[in-house]
Amino acid sequence: GGVIGILGGGQLARMLTIAAGRLGYHTHVFEPEEDCPAAPLTSARTTAGWDDMAALDAFAEAIDVATYEFENVPTAALDRIERRCAVLPGRHALAVSQDRVDEKQFLNDLGLPTASWAAVDDVPGLTTALAAIGAPAILKTRRMGYDGKGQVRLKDDAPAAAEAALAELGGAPCILEGMVDFDSEISVIVARAGDGSVSAYDPGTNEHRGGILRLTTVPCGQPERVVTDAVLMAAKIVTSLEYVGVMGVEMFVTKGGLMVNEIAPRVHNSGHWTQAGAAVCQFEQHVRAIAGLPLGDGQRHADVVMENLIGDDIERIPTLLAERDTQIHLYGKSEVRPGRKMGHVNRVTRRRD
Ligand code: ATP
Ligand code: MG
Ligand code: MG
């Protein structure tokens, strides 16, 4: 038993809460929004802002370990919580993933290939970066981007368009990335326990629509050597960070081999298939890791296609309910908005013996 504190109350927190409950833990969710997906399931809640130090203190007193469902948790809030209890995954992984420049530098220092990149600290820096990286390229905010928000594509190196893009993103600091000509995108969901043991799920192929993940398919259809490379790269990342918990590692498959796109120090949307395709899903695996339990069996026992239900997709629920071999997850969000993740389905396409 014990109490797991979760920072953020979205769908990832909701599914972590379910997994924690199955293992006999209580959860305590800290989330500023009153109406959040984790609300009906968590044993306790704090509804307060990230700058409410008294609320953070009381939260940290009430839990045994803190984890988070999103990588943009304010640093000051974590500093405060860490005075009273451990935060897992640790701060180093979080810091690296919060800043795209630090993230790329960290990956390259490990010897892992990424898109070519240059930091953009001001308007003149953009010209220098464009000259170094060339077009086409993608300009991204260094911090806070998600679901493809906070990025603009530059099809050529025209300075006026580039400056307009920078202004659109709210100015520097940004990162300019060379456009990777990838064959496909895959991700590895990897877990590391405090004793250093590492377990990775089979990589999945990811397809996006409008910058948002739409489908994840396992198996990913890549040759065995690509799968092995992907898993070894993910393992190298979590090992070097002395990471504890589940991480999502997004990669590009290119003619020249794999490149790492970004890392997410948390359970990951592209790992939702594990709920239907492995004995121990990513949410339970994360709970096990941060609670100091042994990692579970992540062996894939089925072929699965995970489909996100985004915005109006929710209207398809009656049809989805009639499908065989389809596991439906709804996040309990009352308001439908375009681009909003309302739920997902896991379709088992083949069972393995
Ligand atoms: P997420 O919701 O996964 O956190 P994000 O907003 O952090 O997304 P990225 O993963 O960096 O953004 O980019 C979103 C998508 O844009 C990628 O999955 C990929 O399809 C495309 N993309 C990003 N960077 C590049 C690049 N350098 N070259 C080619 N395509 C890219
Ligand atoms: Mg991201
Ligand atoms: Mg991404």
- Sketch the domain layout of the chain as residue ranges: 3-87, 116-178, 184-351
298: Cβ below 6 Å to ligand 1? no
Q: Does domain 116-178 have CATH number 3.30.1490.20?
A: yes
pLDDT tens for residues 297-308? 999 999 999 999
User: Which secondary-structure segment (H or E) carries 282?
Assistant: helix 282-291
147: Cβ below 6 Å to ligand 1? yes
The pLDDT of residue 271: 98
pLDDT tens for residues 168-188? 999 999 999 999 999 999 999
Confidence of residue 6 (pLDDT cuts 50, 70, 90): very high
pTM of the model: 0.97
CA distance 351 to 313: 26
Cα of 132 vs its chain's centroid, Å? 30
Domain 3-87: which topology?
Rossmann fold (3.40.50)
Among residues 114, 270, 136, the alpha carbon closest in space to that of 190 is found at 270
Q: Which atom of ligand 1 is nearest to the CA of 180?
A: 28
CA distance 328 to 302: 16
pLDDT at 94 over 80: yes
pLDDT tens for residues 102-131? 999 999 999 999 999 999 999 999 999 999
pLDDT tens for residues 201-213? 999 999 999 989 9
pLDDT at 1 over 80: no
pLDDT at 218 over 90: yes
The pLDDT of residue 203: 98
Domain 184-351: which topology?
D-amino Acid Aminotransferase; Chain A, domain 1 (3.30.470)
CA distance 36 to 29: 10
pLDDT tens for residues 27-60? 999 999 999 999 999 999 999 999 999 999 999 9
What separation in Å is there between the alpha carbon of 261 and the centre of ligand 1?
A: 7
- Average pLDDT value for the chain: 97
250: Cβ below 6 Å to ligand 1? yes
179: Cβ below 6 Å to ligand 1? yes
The answer, yes or no, to whether ipTM is higher than 0.85 is yes
